[in-house]
Structure 1
Amino acid sequence: MDDLNDWPGRELDDEALDVAYNVRRKAGPELFERHMARYLAMSDDAVAGLPGHPGIVYDEASGERLDVWGVRDGEPRPAFVFVHGGYWMALSRRVSSFMARMLDAHGVATVVPDYTLAPEATLEEIVRQVRASVAWVHRHGREHGLDPDRIVVGGSSAGGHLTGMTMVGGWQEPLGLPDDVVKAAMPFSGLFDLRPITRVYVNEYVKLDVPKAAALSPELLPAGRRCPAVVAVAEHDGGGFLEQSRRFARHWGVEPLVVPARDHFDVVLDLADAETAASRALLGLIESVRT
């Protein structure tokens, strides 16, 4: 882009940007806490008694860990790598495995990595760690019941942004990975152009300027190989997330999946139910990369 400062929404004042991107304020404290309690309860229920390998260190440099759920002896299973949200500064893998039982019933394993939260880690480091988790699945997945040739990445909110950073090109070769290591992707309510974040409250933690934000924006980076993707967003999401998802879907050459009657926080919980539009879309993506 010729002018890094010419970004959609630049003309809005700071209050309007906060309305567009502060989804926690939009939900209100009571609803937000209820959503967070559901994340934990549904994740605990999903993995209770499920075969897996929790707590594996995937990145020696940071010591960060991931959980593998829903693996069986015999044929390695496709791996859905789910990257949690929390504006890069909250949540964890503990509350992010709510889809594991649904996927297990359909022959798919779930991989949920942690990453070091901001401000302890820079956003560049968080991106590196998430890419390292994908590299771990490719290199070591088979010994843990995962098929390294069927990796699908997804994530919600900040995790949607981090999903986007695994979809773009240029990072795979330095890690010794094939260009198509990520066979398909499903970001939910993601951020794909981070320049607006330089003017909202979360920048107190991630400390981006406009050039750094642009360098970490999937919409502005070379796509490389365009993997199949579903770009999902909630009907009642924050305005900034709705617009960014629609724009990134166009950029990627797909139609956005706008999930009715859902908000920023509960849209991804639909992955716990195989009959929802989100789950059908994810299972369809995974089926499309079966070998």
Structure 2
Amino acid sequence: MGPDDAYANAPYIPDGESYPARWAAEAAAFRNRHPPDVVPYGETTRQAFDLFLPEQEPRGLVVFVHGGYWMRFGRGDWSHLAAGPLSEGWAVAMPGYDLCPDVHIRDITRQVARAVTVASERVSGPLRLAGHSAGGHLVARMCCSDVSLTERGRIERILPISPVSDLEPLRETSMNDTLRIDSREAEQESPVHHPAPDCPVHVWVGGDERPAFIDQARWLSASWDMPLTVEPGRHHFDVIDGLADAASPLARALLS
């Protein structure tokens, strides 16, 4: 198995190519029912987050960071995943960020930290962070001591879902023509190379995912001595579905 194949998801998921359009449609329908506040946090148009607010005073703030190998998608593709936390009285912020190759992954890390800071200024109470794939990497980075995050003390839980925890293997893929990860960035931006954080982290991955992603999840869990759930029957594209249902095991891991 070559490096590109190891990190290819869609070819190994039934009807895998249809998922992005389905996500976008579900997200648009949810936004029509629950229009968010759009809050800029930086200088570019992608540096903004959608803020969904419950009808009552929020219990706290959930921040969900999307994936796409730091190269694809935007905040508006995932709005429907706010349904679970919102139904439990949590506000939900979904940040966008600039994409590679316009920026480096280290720049995206700083942007997400800024988004979390600005969102936390809008909503009081505890913070829960979740992210999928590249977003799982980014939320894991939020609890690393080298990231400037003034509200880190409010973080109660971080849920990296199918995270990329070690960037070094991606240097061998053709994606690196766009990502431009060098050895220094691979070391600095890989959560597994940072000490375990003080806040609780629960790593989550689908049991039917590519072996490379199961490995990445296990590496993070082992490096930080944090719990790992391998959810049976879930692949890389549907492992996040549970966030939309407050009663699902995934949502409970984030919210309980």
Query: Smaller-chain TM-score range?
Result: over 0.9
**Cα offsets for 1:139-161 (capped at 9, x unmatched):** x21xxxx22x4111111111011
- Counterpart of 1:114 in structure 2 is 96
**Cα offsets for 1:232-270 (capped at 9, x unmatched):** 101111111101101211222222111111111111022
Stretches of structure 1 that go unaligned for 5 or more consecutive residues are 1-14, 285-291
- Counterpart of 2:30 in structure 1 is 46
Which protein shows a greater Rg? 1
Find the aligned partners of 2:126 and 2:198 in 1 and give their Cα distance.
15
Matches within 5 A, 1:1-291: 15-27=1-13, 31-50=15-34, 52-53=36-37, 55-60=38-43, 64-72=47-55, 75-138=57-120, 140-141=121-122, 146-147=123-124, 149-172=125-148, 177-223=150-196, 225-284=197-256
For residue 187 of structure 1, what is the amino acid of its counterpart? P
Stretches of structure 2 that go unaligned for 5 or more consecutive residues are none
Query: Quick one: structure 1 residues 51 and 90, their matched pair in 2 at CA, closer, same or farther if it must change by over 3 Å?
Result: closer
| CA RMSD between the two structures | 1.9
| SS of match in other structure, 1:236 | coil
Find the aligned partners of 2:21 and 2:237 in 1 and give their Cα distance.
11
Find the aligned partners of 1:90 and 1:63 in 2 and give their Cα distance.
12
| SS of match in other structure, 1:98 | helix
Does the aligned pair in 2 maintain the 1:50–1:101 contact within 8 Å? no
| SS of match in other structure, 2:222 | helix
Find the aligned partners of 2:172 and 2:250 in 1 and give their Cα distance.
31
Find the aligned partners of 1:39 and 1:104 in 2 and give their Cα distance.
18
For residue 144 of structure 2, what is the amino acid of its counterpart? V
- Counterpart of 1:7 in structure 2 is none
- % identical aligned pairs: 31
| Alignment: residue pair count | 256
What's the offset of the Cα at 1:43? Answer: 1.7
**Cα offsets for 1:44-78 (capped at 9, x unmatched):** 2333332531x2111247761110013335x3431
Q: Is 36-45 or 206-215 further displaced after alignment?
A: 36-45
User: What TM-score results when the alignment is normalised by the length of structure 2?
Assistant: 0.92
Find the aligned partners of 1:222 and 1:76 in 2 and give their Cα distance.
32
